[in-house]
Every structure is written in C-alpha cells, then in structure tokens.
Structure 1
Amino acid sequence: MDLANRVKTLTPSSTLAITAKAKALKNQGYDVIGLGAGEPDFNTPEYILEAAEEAMRNGFTKYTPAGGIAGLKQAIANKFSHDNGLTYTTDEIIVTTGAKHALYTLFQVLVNQGDEVIVPAPYWVSYPEQIKLAEGKPVIINAEEKNEFKITPAQLEAAITPKTKAVIINSPNNPTGMMYSQQELQQLGEICLKHQVLIVSDEIYEKLIYTNDKHVSIAEISSQLKNNTIIINGVSKSHAMTGWRIGYAAGSAEIIKPMTNLASHSTSNPTSIAQFAALAAYNADEDPNAEMRAIFSERLELLYDLLKDIPGISCVKPKGAFYMFPNVHEAVRQNGFDTVDNWVKALLEEEKVALVPGTGFGAPENVRLSYAVSTDSLKEAAKRIKRFVLTHQS
C-alpha cells in the first residue's frame, strides 16, 4: 500500500528504539542497565492515586470538554499565577493528552506548508518530526557546547527568514539539562518581537532544577513577550505522571481555541480520570517535587563525577531535568568506531548498558544518559562503560 507522504519522512524515536532493544535483551535474561528512560523512576504520589480512585468511584468516567475540565484549567491558571506571576483565563488554556500532544496540536494549527520553525539543537527528538508532519520545515540552529548548548541572539537572528513562523525554547532542556537565564531569554525574546516570530516555550522540566538558578519563563519578562508566547507544560515530569498523559498549553485564545477544536476531532478529550488526578496534583499543599529533586541532585553529582573519570568522555554539567549529555567523540575515535551510533550499539551488546545516541537529538558526537535510575545502577553502568572504553582503546 502506498502510504501518505507525510509519514514517509518520519524518523523513528531513537529513545523508544533503544528502550525497546534493551527490553528485548532483558527478556532474554541479560542484566541490562537502561539509561535511556525519559521518565522519573518514582511512582505517582499517593494522594494523586487516591484522587484518581475517588474520581472513578464517583462516576467521573465520561467524556469531558475537549479542552479539559474547568476545574483543572483553573488549577493550571492558579499554578501560573503562583509559580510564574502570569495571568491566564481558562479560555487561554487547553489540557491535552500529554505535553507532546499539546505541541503536536499547536504545530497543526500554526504551521502551513513551507513555514519554518526554528529548532535549537540539541533538541527533543519529536520537535522536527512534528513540524514535518504539519508540512513545515524545521530550521536547525546548532547550539555550541562551549555556550552550554544555548543559542545566541546572533544565531537566532541569522536563522530568521520571511517564512519563519516560530522558534522553540526548551529550558531546562532535554537532552542537555541546561537552562537559559532571564537575560538570555530577554535577548532572544526581543529578536522574536522584532521579527514577529512566535515563541514556543517548552517548560516541562520547570520543577526539576538542582542549582540556585531560578526557572524563568520567557512569558514572565514582559507583557509583550507573554502575548507572543505559547507555554507548553504538564504533570508528567513534575509529579511522576508520565503514563497519565496530561499536558497543557497556555497562550492567546486566538491560538488556543483552534487547538481545542482540533483536539475535539482527534482525541475527543484527555482521559477524565487522569484529569482529576492532575487536578489533585495542582491543588495539593505539599510539594511532590522536593524528595525527587533531592534524589536527582545526588545522582547528578555522582554520575557527573563518574563520567569525568572515563577516558575520552567530557560533559558540561547540567542544571536541570534528569539527563547527562556527554561528548563521547574522542572515546569513539580511540575505540575505533566510525560513529557514536555504532559505539552505542556495541556498548549495549557487549556490556549491556543502554544509552541514547545523540544523532536523534541533532548532536552526533554526544550520548544521552538518564539518571532516573537507582544509585547502584548508575555506579554499575559507569563501571561497565569505563571497562568498555578501556577494552577497546587502540
């Protein structure tokens, strides 16, 4: 059968591919350490589980409004007010089936054939693919490692053309864990305002920061930037709710309304029970992030020190999320491999450690390691990686 052209150019998710291969080896009885996970290794907090059960018992198992239940949208608006000093009405918020679906729906309503969306690299693997599915063109800007993987105002301005519709800013970033400062965001924002380029601010890792740096949403900086920004967020990372699939977008009702209309014809609505669970997450007095942040911070320090001890591997220390993104180019060269991808495959086959090649993130000299695994697993993984590197040194 001749498939639609829009799917023929899609690249399979490298994170899901490596996870699938690791699981297959585990099923064969091998002791595999998977560092490819893009989700916290914590269960959803108990009070959220209880809220979901109560919702089921009370019969909240029916269709909901396409853009989400009113209570959850108001809770999200309250979150923006409390955490970010931002005011949104419920008409300026859509609840979606995960933050990924918020992004997908946004690009579908925003991008026409041939429109350009600027994507800083390293990038989350789905950004370019979603833009292509909307028949747009992802324009990649390579952020340099020496600049902590952050693009500069000069790079952004040089990439803008009359066809540029939007730019994506992801801070804290997946896969690098790096963050933009308020000053850096302001400089980028001013260029976007100058050229009337919409800002798509992906803030899904907002709550997972391990330094004294404060997360700043670019929409906080000025009313002009708020009006020119669509914020993407959700409960997946902040509340260990990846499988519940609740995300959201906030911004101009001119964009949110057609997103809601499109969602009504694609998903009908986010899962009702998951919405009530997310409502409990945002209405709780307790901070579900505190313990998770403390543990991730300890793992970050541990893994960073372990990686520094491996020949041919260098790493910019991340500030947030739960990933390391080391440069392994020299190790790959010394080990006699032609690409990082082949080096990663051999590492998985020989030492049963699963990493994600940086090619899927637009950074072919790097690999992504998730430290959303136990301390013992991190220690053992680093031990195996070092053994692999030393064994193959030429």
Structure 2
Amino acid sequence: MTNIVLSNLVAGIEPSPTEETSFLANTLKRQGVDVISFAQGEPDFDTPNYIKKAAIKAINEGFTKYTDVGGIIELKEAVVEKLKRQNNLEYDISGVIIGNGGKQLLYEAFATLCNPGDEVLIPTPCYVSYADQIRLTGARAVFVPTTEENEFVPCLEDVQKLWNPKVKVFVINSPCNPTGAVFPQEETRRIMDFLVENKTFVITDEVYEYLLYDGAKHISPAALDPKYKQWCIVVNSLSKTYAMTGWRIGYAAGPKEIINGMNSLQGHLTGNVNSIAQKAAAEALLGPQDDIARMVEEYAKRKDYMVNRINSIEGLSCIEPKGAFYVFANVKNLFGRTYNGNKLENDKDVANFFLKAAHVAVVPGIAFAYEGYVRFVFAKSLGTIKEGLDRIEKAIGELT
C-alpha cells in the first residue's frame, strides 16, 4: 500500500485533548465500565423549551433552505440588541456575523487578521484550540504564563515582556476556560491601553460571560473605552449560556472590514449556519432569560461543593473559580507517587491514573499549555460530582 503523507499543515495539528479524553471515557463506557466524566465542558441542562419550540415552528413553516452566509437579518438584529442590552456595545448588523459555534468564529478571526510570521499572544492556561487554529494561519502562538497566586490573570508587565512588533493579536478569554478566572476591570484597561497604543487587535472570547459567581462581573473590553472598540473582535456562543452545544451556533461582532473578511472566508468553508438553529438562536437572545439565572444558581452550588471537596482531598488543591464551570486543580503533590508500579510524573499521568484507577475522566493541564494541573467540569449533578470525587479520593489513598 502506498504510504499516505498528510500535508504539513494538517500533520502539525494536535487532536483536541478534551475530545480525545471524552473519546477514551466513552470507549470505556461502551465496554461496560462505569465512567464518570468531568472532561467535556457541556451543560447537563436541556435547552429551554421556548427555544426548542421556535425550532419546531421553523421546521413546520419550511424554513429549511440556505440563508445568507453571515446569518439571517432577524438573528443579527437580535445579536445587536443583546450586545447593547447586556454589554453596552453598539453595532449595526454589518458588524455582526453568525457562525457554526464560537470555535469557527475564532478561527475565522485569526485567519482574517494574521499572516504567516505574525504572532498571537495568549495568556495561559488557555482554551485548547487557540494554538492550533493560529498555527493553521501560518502565524505563531506565543504563550503568556499566568500564576495561581494571581488567580491565573495576566498583568500588563506579563504582556509587555512578550510583546514585539510581530504581535498582531492578543486573546482575552474571560471568564476563562479552564481556570474560571475573570479579568479585573482596571488591569484589563491597562492591558488594553498598551495594546491599542501598539496597534494590536484583541479577540475577546466571551462564551462564559453569564456564568459568574460570588459577585464577579464581566465587562466586555470593547465597552471600556470608545478607542478600544475598533481594535476588538467580540466572539460569543449560545452553547453554554442556553445549553445549546449541539445546535452549533455563535456570533461575532467587530469592525465591518474584519467581519466582511470573516464572511468571505465562511462562504468558502461552510456557507450559512443551520437555518433552523438560527431561528432558535434569535428566540434565545430575545426571549425570557430566566433559565440562565436558574442554571447559574445551580452551578454555584456545585462549584462550592467541588472546590471544598477538592481542597479536602490529600494531594489536591484549587482556588475558587469566579466564572465558567471549571475547577483547575493543582495535582503536583501527587507527582512521584506510584500506582501499580507506575510513577506519576506529570499531570497527564495523573489524569490517566484517575481514569484507570477511579474511572473518572479529567483533562490534564498540558492540554491548556499549563502543566501540573487537571481540569474538572462541574456542569454535572451534585450526586455525580460527589461520586466522582469519592472515587478519586479512594484511588489516591491507594497510591504508594
């Protein structure tokens, strides 16, 4: 058989670690193993009924054809209204694009802004797909490490150390996946002033903006000062806020020239977003928002339990996340210990140990460009969280 050689572009991409971990967990489940997964960041709530009814209505009315590549006017207008209401940001529909989830829009923004040889600064720990998406554009991801002591939030000095004239884009993900960190307003202003002064674009990934706890507040960087807005591309999704992960729908807003470029690219990649999902998304943004508050209230209870429990387990520790639905737990105190004669030397070993010994799936920190930690998802029932952590505590007790 002829050897198949993949392109350098594709061969250089790493599989999504969260998807890979979920696949391993699901494989064990198919083999009859009772696996609890804290790996995939997906709400365990159902999509609210009023949203589902809008989709059914669209189907019954035959709204099943192609739409404009960048989205239907009705949904773009709903996004414009939401951004004004929730984020104090004013756009017209020419500055908005609808995409197949936030992930597609992130890639399109990178591809529209970056040329080969450009650099993109990303605070770490960071979302797993940023670096490979940037690599696909020919640009280079440059990581800006944060510290647990600073609650995983970068400071201006961290950014200044790594900024250089090749830097085209800076990424802000707040609340953050995987840490739950929320960027404080004053430090965000300091960073934005520096970036705008140096003509650096900012992609703001705001997918978890509603998932906030203990008085934390989300403020879109583009809304902090009028001079910031022309340098920002706001990316968001309905997946987490409205429990619509499978609907694959998100939106972005920014300068018209950039949105037009993203629209041209999307026209050749996928064309329009699912027409039925677009109708449902418009209803989600314009309809009653009560379900969000109920979900966040429940997440807060789960977060409190998971944080307290992790900090009570020997060898594990974590800080309190201020947003999203993740706990980024420090597992360095487990390094050097052994399981069935195998020494735990890094966070990937620890994640494998949890899966094999406790049948609990987590994602290792290396997936987020930050070693020594693992990510837990608390978008699970309290019963599931308790059982999973019981198993981990028991397995850790058997280490030598």
SS of 1:12's partner is coil
* TM-superposition CA deviations, 1:192-237 (whole Å, max 9, x none): 0111110110000001111212111101111111111100001111
Which residue of the other structure, out of 188, 193, 201, is the alignment partner of 1:190? 193
Report the residue type matching 1:40 in the other structure. Answer: P
Q: Which residue of 1 aligns with 2:376?
A: 369
SS of 1:288's partner is helix
CA distance in structure 2 between the partners assigned to 1:256 and 1:340 by the alignment = 39
CA distance in structure 2 between the partners assigned to 1:100 and 1:206 by the alignment = 16
CA distance in structure 1 between the partners assigned to 2:263 and 2:289 by the alignment = 31
CA distance in structure 2 between the partners assigned to 1:179 and 1:196 by the alignment = 24
Q: Which residue of 2 aligns with 1:267?
A: 270
Q: Which residue of 2 aligns with 1:389?
A: 396
Q: Which residue of 2 aligns with 1:131?
A: 134
Q: Which residue of 2 aligns with 1:57?
A: 60
Range 332-341 or range 155-164, more displaced: 332-341
CA distance in structure 1 between the partners assigned to 2:398 and 2:5 by the alignment = 47
Shift of the alpha carbon at 1:122?
A: 0.1
Contact 1:116 1:138 in 2 (8 A): yes
CA distance in structure 1 between the partners assigned to 2:336 and 2:372 by the alignment = 10
CA distance in structure 1 between the partners assigned to 2:178 and 2:162 by the alignment = 22
Q: Percent identity of the aligned residues?
A: 39
Shift of the alpha carbon at 1:287?
A: 2.4
Shift of the alpha carbon at 1:291?
A: 1.0
Q: Which residue of 2 aligns with 1:256?
A: 259
Segments of 4+ moved more than 6 angstroms: none
CA distance in structure 1 between the partners assigned to 2:353 and 2:380 by the alignment = 22
Contact 1:312 1:334 in 2 (8 A): no
Which residue of the other structure, out of 30, 33, 45, is the alignment partner of 1:30? 33
1:90-101 alignment runs, 5 A limit: 90-101=93-104
Shift of the alpha carbon at 1:261?
A: 0.9
Q: Which residue of 2 aligns with 1:180?
A: 183
* TM-superposition CA deviations, 1:137-157 (whole Å, max 9, x none): 000111111111111101111
* TM-superposition CA deviations, 1:86-142 (whole Å, max 9, x none): 100100000000000000111111111111000111000000010001111000111
1:91-170 alignment runs, 5 A limit: 91-170=94-173
Q: Which residue of 2 aligns with 1:287?
A: 290
* Paired residues, number: 393
CA distance in structure 1 between the partners assigned to 2:289 and 2:312 by the alignment = 39
CA distance in structure 2 between the partners assigned to 1:145 and 1:13 by the alignment = 24
Report the residue type matching 1:368 in the other structure. Answer: R
Q: Which residue of 2 aligns with 1:351?
A: 358
Q: Which residue of 1 aligns with 2:332?
A: 329
Shift of the alpha carbon at 1:332?
A: 2.8
Report whether the alignment pairs 1:340 with 2:363. no
Which residue of the other structure, out of 210, 213, 225, is the alignment partner of 2:213? 210
* TM-superposition CA deviations, 1:310-330 (whole Å, max 9, x none): 112110110110000011011
Q: Which runs of 5+ in 1 are unaligned?
A: none
Q: Which residue of 2 aligns with 1:19?
A: 22
CA RMSD of aligned residues (A): 0.9
SS of 1:172's partner is coil
Report the residue type matching 2:269 in the other structure. Answer: S
Contact 1:37 1:372 in 2 (8 A): no
TM value normalised by structure 2 = 0.97
CA distance in structure 2 between the partners assigned to 1:136 and 1:387 by the alignment = 45
CA distance in structure 1 between the partners assigned to 2:386 and 2:321 by the alignment = 18
Q: Which residue of 1 aligns with 2:316?
A: 313
CA distance in structure 1 between the partners assigned to 2:183 and 2:351 by the alignment = 29
Which residue of the other structure, out of 76, 79, 104, is the alignment partner of 1:76? 79
Shift of the alpha carbon at 1:387?
A: 1.2
Q: Which runs of 5+ in 2 are unaligned?
A: none
CA distance in structure 2 between the partners assigned to 1:332 and 1:89 by the alignment = 53
Report the residue type matching 1:118 in the other structure. Answer: L
Report the residue type matching 1:385 in the other structure. Answer: I
Shift of the alpha carbon at 1:334?
A: 3.9
Report the residue type matching 1:247 in the other structure. Answer: G
CA distance in structure 2 between the partners assigned to 1:333 and 1:386 by the alignment = 17
Report the residue type matching 2:250 in the other structure. Answer: G
